[in-house]
Amino acid sequence: MIRPYRSVLYIPASRERALEKARELAADAIIFDLEDAVAPDEKGRARELLARVLREADYGARARIVRVNGLGTEWVAGDLAAFGDHPGVDAVLLPKVNGPADLDAVAGPVRAPLWAMLETTKGCLNAAAIAAHPRLEGMVMGTNDLAKELGARFRPDRLPLLAGLGACVMAARAEGRIIVDGVFNAFKDEAGLRAECEQGRDMGFDGKTLIHPAQLDIANEVFAPSEEEVALARRMIAAYAEARARGEGVAVVDGKIVENLHVATAEALIGKAEAIAALAV
């Protein structure tokens, strides 16, 4: 069964209250952050707190992803030692991955699947090689860091980021990896969040990283197939089966052609809707 990644919520590993609250939140996945959301003098305490919480707390179906500190920092070795083979960890997320060699550097002590943050210009240029790393499972866009490196301005249409976003989605799809879009910083702006979720969904992202629980419902809704989409997918599959029974290779639904590739997309959409429905029971 495919696992949905519509909503991927960051939680600073130092915030005990938020760690506790997340067991009840409607997030498909959680990124427990040891990196930028934790101040340097809090790193040790956050690591210990998170190691204990992940041993004791039940996060249900939510994927548990730990973002460690970056290569070259004084904390990364300790983070990998604490979480690389921890029973409460589903994946380890390495920030600022510039190329596949960065993943090789952490693969040894980590038993869990690896995820990579794509947030540097080098990383985006090397996205295909990163996605092809045999230990890689998922990719996360770091749009704030990417905008900073590019010297790009923030615009509602994200035009300055589209080359990087598109390169990373293409790389992820070429290798069958999960890929999640970057965060929307203005966490009280619901219309802005919705528009950015829709843009990411239309580009092919599996979901969006989020910084606040108030963002969960919109991401869960936008990245889930709607009832109309599921109904249309079922009609396309049925119409194509009828066409095949008549010895034809093409059907027409609502004035649009349906070929075998459209049927494959329709089946994938229904599979996603079923995986989401299974979460609710």
- Name the site residues for ligand COA (rule: CB under 6 A): 9-12, 17-18, 21-22, 33, 36-37, 183, 211-213
Kindly identify the residues of this chain, within the stretch 122-161, that bind Mg ion according to CB under 5 A: 142, 145
Closest distance of CB 200 from ligand COA, Å: 15
The span from the CA of 93 to the CA of 70, in Å, is 10
Q: Least Å distance between CB 220 and ligand COA?
A: 15
Read off the DSSP letter of residue 30: E
Judge contact between 69 and 35, C-beta under 8 A. yes
Rounded Cα distance between 15 and 177, Å, is 30
Residue 28 interacts with Mg ion (CB under 5 A)?
Answer: no
For ligand COA, the closer CB: 12 or 123? 12
DSSP state of 9: E
Picked from Mg ion, ligand COA, none, the partner binding residue 37 (CB below 5 to 8 A depending on kind) is ligand COA
Helix (H) and strand (E) counts in the chain = 12, 10
CB of 274 to ligand COA, least distance (A): 28
Instruction: Choose the one of Mg ion, ligand COA, none that binds residue 3, judging by a C-beta under 5 to 8 angstroms depending on kind.
Output: none
Three-class secondary structure of residue 117 per DSSP: strand
Q: How many CB atoms lie within 10 A of CB 138?
A: 22
* Shortest CB 145 distance to Mg ion, Å: 4
Q: Between vectors from CA 188 to CA 187 and to CA 194, what angle results, nearest 5°? A: 75
Nearer to ligand COA, 83 or 240 (CB): 83
* Residue 50 tokens, joined: 């998170």
Q: Is 33 in the site for Mg ion (CB under 5 A)?
A: no
The distance of closest approach from Cβ of residue 129 to ligand COA in the complex, given in angstroms and rounded to an integer, is 25
Which of 149/229 has CB closer to ligand COA?
149
